[in-house]
């Protein structure tokens, strides 16, 4: 049996620190007895891109997932008709578990982002981030598994419920641990009742808690407040909880079995959000229509509704708002950028990514890309007195494959990866510090213990694109 545990966003650096301090005995066991190394993520290091690369073993130019949202358009450089969250249909190429199924192995895949709607597998599947909710059609394979999970395991969540609001730390953390506990119960139920040759469980809580709680443990963070030391160890506590789950899974290993622990990217402090669409509008690249709906958006921004809603949508991973109509969900999902709010006759570029992914539009797109490349590096965070855009990448530099033309024309690397980018056109300032205090870093982790360790021994570092090949090798496919 091959067991794979994905700890979304788990940091190699934080793990090592807390292992050295004695908090993570099970991961420490893997480090001591197996293989343990940093895992480099994709550019951008966001979950949909990283997990799509993980599951297909190909780069974004081949699988076609470049971020959380996809602009629907007739072709590259054409104005989009709408923006929508990414789904499994957008990720092209064979998943490694499909190759395992073809070789006769059964697979149980739980919690992987971008697997909704699920496809049939030899075994079972529960979709992860970007699935609406467990009970929604397309979230589990077989379909009846959803009701079975609810009856046998409890109210399993795709992502923790509710919203983190400053002051609500206790309720937020209770829910994070409750959600983790349900994942642990689901894992043990599936291993007992639906055992497969290969199991993969992704725990999303490690990522979520870092986004929200970083400010409480990092004295250098602009929001650090020594009087709130009660939450100082909130992130560590979630790692400890995840480590206990890893330990339970490790107990399942028999001779010839392997356990792999990995993360899709790492984490670090967030110093600000750059409202890139606001900048593009101010620089004349993006034009907003001036109808009543758009005026309403202006007014709403004054009341901070826009910021709040965008924060909610980000918090929820763009789902869960099942009470909203699809159109409303999409608006929330894209952080209040709607394709039909933009004046496409006058728009030459727009951003559609949390780490900076600019799409250029129109016949003169190459010229626009060139101009932007020169000007983007001039953006300054005046509060911290620094330039924010570290590198302006072209897709040709980063990606290769048959879908590379659908990539954003410009992909940004922001200073020390400590900034996010929003979709908002009407933010109150070019930079703001929202509810999030942590964000992603490119360095995740990889640990292997058991028979499969020999497949990776003596490697100093690994890239997430090699994971599919590695797992196939361990499974002897």
Kindly list the residues in this chain that would bind Zn ion in the complex (CB under 5 A): 8-9, 47, 207, 264
SS3 (DSSP) at 243? helix
| 325 vs 132: CA distance, rounded Å | 13
**Tokens standing for 277?**
């669409």
Q: Given the complex with Zn ion, which of 306 and 414 has the nearer CB atom?
A: 414
Q: CB of residue 451 vs Zn ion: minimum separation in angstroms?
A: 28
Closest to 90 measured CA to CA, from 108, 113, 106, 110: 113
| 230 vs 209: CA distance, rounded Å | 15
Q: Given the complex with Zn ion, which of 39 and 475 has the nearer CB atom?
A: 39
Q: Given the complex with Zn ion, which of 9 and 335 has the nearer CB atom?
A: 9
Q: CB of residue 213 vs Zn ion: minimum separation in angstroms?
A: 16
Q: Given the complex with Zn ion, which of 265 and 311 has the nearer CB atom?
A: 265
Q: CB of residue 300 vs Zn ion: minimum separation in angstroms?
A: 30
Q: CB of residue 199 vs Zn ion: minimum separation in angstroms?
A: 20
Contact 354, 67 (CB under 8 A): yes
Q: CB of residue 317 vs Zn ion: minimum separation in angstroms?
A: 10
Which DSSP string corresponds to 105-135? --EEEEEETT-PSP---SEEEEE-TT---TT
Question: Residue with CB nearest Zn ion?
Answer: 47
Q: Given the complex with Zn ion, which of 46 and 280 has the nearer CB atom?
A: 46
Contact 111, 94 (CB under 8 A): no
| DSSP type of residue 466 | G
Q: Does residue 417 come out as left (phi exceeding 0), alpha (psi in the -120 to 50 range) or beta?
A: left
Q: CB of residue 206 vs Zn ion: minimum separation in angstroms?
A: 9
Q: Given the complex with Zn ion, which of 43 and 145 has the nearer CB atom?
A: 43
| 160 vs 317: CA distance, rounded Å | 10
Q: Given the complex with Zn ion, which of 266 and 452 has the nearer CB atom?
A: 266
Q: Given the complex with Zn ion, which of 369 and 417 has the nearer CB atom?
A: 417
Q: Given the complex with Zn ion, which of 207 and 381 has the nearer CB atom?
A: 207
**Tokens standing for 319?**
């789902």
Q: CB of residue 294 vs Zn ion: minimum separation in angstroms?
A: 33
Q: CB of residue 325 vs Zn ion: minimum separation in angstroms?
A: 28
Q: CB of residue 44 vs Zn ion: minimum separation in angstroms?
A: 11
Residue 337: CB atoms within 10 A of its CB come to 25
Q: CB of residue 9 vs Zn ion: minimum separation in angstroms?
A: 5
Q: Where are the alpha helices (DSSP H) in 261-407?
A: 276-282, 292-302, 305-315, 326-333, 365-376, 395-398
**Tokens standing for 304?**
């901070």
Q: Which residues does 149 contact at the CB level (< 8 Å), separation at least 6?
A: 126, 134, 140, 156, 186, 189
How many helices (H) and strands (E) in the chain?
16, 22
Q: Write down how long the chain is.
A: 477
Q: Given the complex with Zn ion, which of 129 and 286 has the nearer CB atom?
A: 129
Q: How far is CA 331 from CA 3, 319, 354, 361, 423, in A?
A: 38, 12, 15, 21, 11
Q: CB of residue 81 vs Zn ion: minimum separation in angstroms?
A: 29
Q: Given the complex with Zn ion, which of 8 and 218 has the nearer CB atom?
A: 8
Closest to 351 measured CA to CA, from 419, 435, 442, 436: 419
Q: Is the dihedral of CA 395, 401, 405, 406 positive or negative?
A: negative
């Amino acid at each position: 049996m091959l067991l794979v545990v994905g700890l979304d966003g788990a940091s190699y650096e934080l793990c090592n620190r807390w292992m050295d301090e004695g908090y993570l005995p099970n991961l420490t066991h893997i480090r001591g007895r197996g293989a343990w190394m940093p895992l480099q993520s994709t550019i951008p290091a966001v979950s949909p891109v990283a997990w799509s690369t993980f599951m297909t073993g190909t780069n974004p130019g081949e699988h076609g997932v470049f971020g959380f949202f996809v602009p629907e358009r007739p072709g590259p450089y054409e104005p989009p008709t709408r923006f929508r969250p990414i789904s499994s249909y957008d990720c092209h190429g064979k998943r490694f578990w499909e190759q395992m199924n073809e070789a006769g192995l059964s697979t149980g895949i739980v919690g992987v982002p971008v697997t909704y709607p699920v496809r049939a597998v030899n075994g079972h599947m529960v979709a992860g981030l970007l699935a609406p909710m467990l009970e929604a059609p397309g979230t589990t394979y077989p379909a009846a598994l959803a009701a079975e999970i609810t009856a046998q395991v409890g109210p399993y969540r795709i992502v923790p419920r509710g919203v983190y609001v400053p002051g609500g730390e206790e309720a937020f953390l209770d829910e994070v641990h409750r959600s983790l506990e349900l994942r642990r119960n689901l894992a043990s139920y599936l291993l007992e009742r639906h055992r497969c040759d290969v199991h993969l469980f992704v725990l999303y809580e490690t990522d979520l808690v870092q986004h929200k709680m970083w400010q409480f443990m990092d004295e250098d963070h602009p929001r650090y407040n020594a009087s709130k030391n009660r939450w100082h160890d909130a992130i560590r506590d979630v790692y400890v909880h995840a480590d206990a789950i890893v330990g339970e899974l490790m107990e399942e290993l028999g001779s010839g079995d392997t356990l792999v622990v990995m993360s899709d990217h790492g984490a670090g402090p967030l110093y600000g959000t750059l409202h890139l669409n606001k900048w593009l509008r101010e620089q004349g690249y993006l034009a907003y229509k001036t109808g009543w709906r758009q005026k309403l958006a202006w007014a709403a921004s004054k009341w901070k509704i826009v910021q709040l809603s965008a924060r909610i949508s980000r918090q929820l991973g763009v789902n869960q708002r099942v009470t909203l109509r699809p159109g409303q969900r999409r608006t929330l999902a894209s952080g209040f950028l709607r394709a039909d709010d933009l004046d496409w006759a006058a728009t030459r570029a727009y951003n559609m990514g949390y780490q900076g992914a600019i799409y250029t539009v129109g016949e003169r797109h190459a010229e626009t890309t060139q101009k932007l490349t020169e000007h983007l590096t001039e953006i300054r965070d005046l509060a911290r007195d620094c330039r924010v855009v570290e590198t302006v990448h072209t897709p040709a530099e980063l990606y290769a494959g048959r879908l590379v033309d659908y990539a954003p024309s410009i992909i940004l690397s922001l200073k020390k990866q400590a900034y996010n980018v929003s979709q908002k056109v009407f933010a109150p300032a070019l930079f703001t510090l929202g509810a999030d205090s942590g964000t992603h870093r490119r360095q995740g982790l990889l640990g292997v213990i058991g028979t499969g360790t020999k497949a990776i021994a003596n490697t100093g570092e690994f890239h997430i694109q090699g994971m599919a090949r590695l797992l196939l090798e361990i499974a002897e496919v």
